[in-house]
Structures are given as structure tokens and as C-alpha cells.
Amino acid sequence: MIGYFTNWGVYGRQYFVKNIVTSGSASKLTHINYAFGNVTNGGCTIGDAYADYDMAYTAANSVDGQADTWDNPSALRGAFNQLRKLKAQYPHIKVLFSFGGWTWSGGFGQAAKNPTAFANSCYNLVEDPRWADVFDGIDIDWEYPNACGLTCDTSGPNAMTDLVRALRNKFGKDYLITAAITADASSGGKLDLSDYAGAAQYLDWYNVMTYDFFGAWDAKGPTAPHSPLNSYSGIPIADFNSDAAVQKLKSKGVPASKILLGIGFYGRGWTGVTQSEPGGTATGAAPGTYEAGIEDYKVLKNSCPATGTVAGTAYAKCGSNWWSYDTPATINGKMSYSKNQGLGGAFFWELSGDTTNGELITAMSNGLK
């Protein structure tokens, strides 16, 4: 039961590590992925030093109600210190430092040219004496090896395997090493372009990003749920669904126990839509709080409640806006699927999208029992 915590969430979203406690989520999580560290010059680097270990916390925003003091400049501050305090209260939680992500995956190509140097840099950063006790693992979010994301990578089908093998050699057998990977199961698609089975032997599990299949980057539609569990009549792209990704990984030889199903704590939406069912035309991205076409569940639940379900997920039409997102009910179905398939569990992106009382994480936790 893994959730991503984003270091930028402490700014506009005002989501702090303390919120993991007050929402009731800390007792339900087994692991937290801290997102993101950057990948530059072939190595792991800090993404946001201020948010990570420099920001001074007030008593009100601190996990234990203790403010950071100005007169102790050597003390660890920021989210790293808050995670340390969280682990003191909830010792069952393991924390992994996640590197890359959509915006910062461009550096992996250079890293792949010298995997040993990459692994050494990551070890030195994650196990820095100032915060070594905070982290129990490292998560690689390369979007995407030997395929195109924000930029296109041409490292070859073995690059991912070489990279994670080097990490395993450096960090040792007891350290958690995981990777977030594509869910594109189309023929010749991203899952076919890298040796995910080969890499799996060095990893504890894969976080399969079974969301963002469809969205308002196709401004005129057709409207489609961004996280379908399975296929449905009229799906815009065959094999763009969660089950297809799971089955493809299994068929390649990835053990089910190393596959985690991904849940988005947000919706994707279009505007200029007249049809309530999926498959309608649109004029562009629906307005969102931080970015057009995307909105947190905690907002959508009230602003545009679900009006129907398709392929194991929900959708909503309100005015001329059309959104798709998961609800507690659809999450329950997805957790049943995870158990029935013998998967290792589930993860979600990301904590701040949930309600203040942790509605979605509760549904995940109950569903996995």
C-alpha cells in the first residue's frame, strides 16, 4: 500500500507530511515514495533543496507539534525531517526516494551510459549522513526507457536492466529498489521496447502507472476514462487499460507479486462536451485548479460528482465539462482485481488529491484486506 508524496505539495497545495497523520492515512500506508529527486549529469541529484531539507516548519505544520528552531543551523529541516518524525510515530512505514518523473526523466539516458557511476551517485545522495535514516529504498521513475515521454530515449532495450542491476549491486540485497513503469500494452508499445522482465529480477516491485491512458492532450476527444481497469466497447486505443498492462507483464515473465496496480487520486477532463457517456467530442481541456484538464478527487467529488461508470472506473458530466476519476466504489473493484490477480498490492498518485479524512486511501486499504 504505497502512496507518493510530492515535495512541491508543500507550496500551493499546503500538503505537509503532517497531513498524512491527520487524514488517518499513516496507519494505512506501508510505504511512501518521496517525489522527486532529479537526474542530472548522469547521477541522482536533489530536486528542491528548500522543500527537501531546508524549509523551517512551524509547530502547527509539524508532525510532532515541534517547530524547527532558527538557532540550530546544523539540524535537518524540511520534508526529510518531517518524514523522520513520521517514522518515529509509525515505525512500520518505509520511505523510498523517487527519482525522475515526467519532467525529470531526460537525464536517465546519460545515466544509462555509466550505470555504476549512476548507482554510486544515488547511494551517496540517498544515504547522505544527514538523512540516511529517513530512507529505506530508492524508486526509479524513468518515463520511458528506450521510448518517448517528454523527450525520446534511445538507450536500447537493456538500459533499464543495466541501471537497476547497478543499483542492486551498490545498495545490496536488503534495500528496497523499485520502479514506476509504463502501462502501455499496445502492440509494439512502450512495454515492448524495454526488457521489463530482465529488470524485474533486480527490483522488489513495479509501480505500473495504470492511469493517464486518455486525456485532454487530445483536445477534441473522444472523451474516455483516464484509468480504465479493462477494455470497453469504443475504447479509443486498444490495450490502453490496466488489465492489458498486467497481463502483458505477466506474459513477459514478470511475477504477479512484483506488479502493483496504480490508482490516480485525480481526474482528467474535457470541456465543450454535450454527451454524458464516454466517446463524446470536446473543445479542449476542462479548467483545473493548478492545470487545465486535471483536478484532485477532493475537488471533483463535490464540483462534478460521478454520473456513471465504465470499465471499472467512474465518469462525470457537469455542465459542458466531462471528467473521469476513481471513487471509493470503483477503487474497491480495482482492489478486488489486484487480489484476484495475485498482485503485490497497489499504489497511488498522490497523497494530496485525497479528502482531508483519507476517503480514497481508506477504500484502497479496506479493499486489499
Would you please indicate which residues are annotated as catalytic (active-site) residues?
143
In whole angstroms, give the CA distance from residue 16 to residue 6: 9
Cis peptide before 291 (omega within 30 of 0): no
Cis peptide before 222 (omega within 30 of 0): yes
Residues whose CB falls within 8 Å of the CB of residue 326, separated by 6 or more in sequence, listed in order: 227, 263, 264, 265, 297, 313, 314, 334, 360
Residue 248's φ and ψ, nearest 5 degrees, are: -65, -45
Retrieve residue 310's grid coordinates: 465504465
User: Would you say 20 and 1 are in contact if contact means Cβ atoms under 8 Å apart?
Assistant: no
Retrieve residue 164's grid coordinates: 537497476
Residues whose CB falls within 8 Å of the CB of residue 63, separated by 6 or more in sequence, listed in order: 17, 18, 21, 82, 85, 86, 89
How many of the other CB atoms lie within 10 Å of CB of 39? 27
Residue 340's φ and ψ, nearest 5 degrees, are: -65, -30
Retrieve residue 154's grid coordinates: 534511445
CA distances from 194 to 107, 129, 155, 250, 271 (A): 17, 35, 9, 15, 36
